[in-house]
Amino acid sequence: MFIRDVIRDREPYSLRASASVLEAAEFMAERKIGAVCVLDEEGKLIGVFSERDLRNRVVVPGMIRRRCGLAR
């Protein structure tokens, strides 16, 4: 499956699988989007990285150790 098979009406938002989580978060924030397509080196769609992935797989595990307040 290729990304053009999923998104046809605009330029798709995508990053290579080699991008870091921080790069993906910054990319989504700059564009005010909630998810980005993940492509392999051949440009094939291999997944989607979303705000939910960021929260559940990156932020929450880190916050358990740091106990940061919202005012910071």
CATH number at residue 25: 3.10.580.10
Residue 49 has pLDDT above 60, yes or no: yes
Element of type H or E holding 37: strand 35-39
d(CA 23, CA 14): 11
Domain total in the chain:
1
25-41 residue pLDDT tens: 999 999 999 999 999 99
pTM of the prediction?
0.74
For residue 18, being part of any structural domain is answered with yes
pLDDT of residue 67: 60
Burial class (CB in 10 A: 0-12, 13-18, 19+), 65: exposed
Question: 50: domain range?
Answer: 3-66
In a domain, 72, yes or no: no
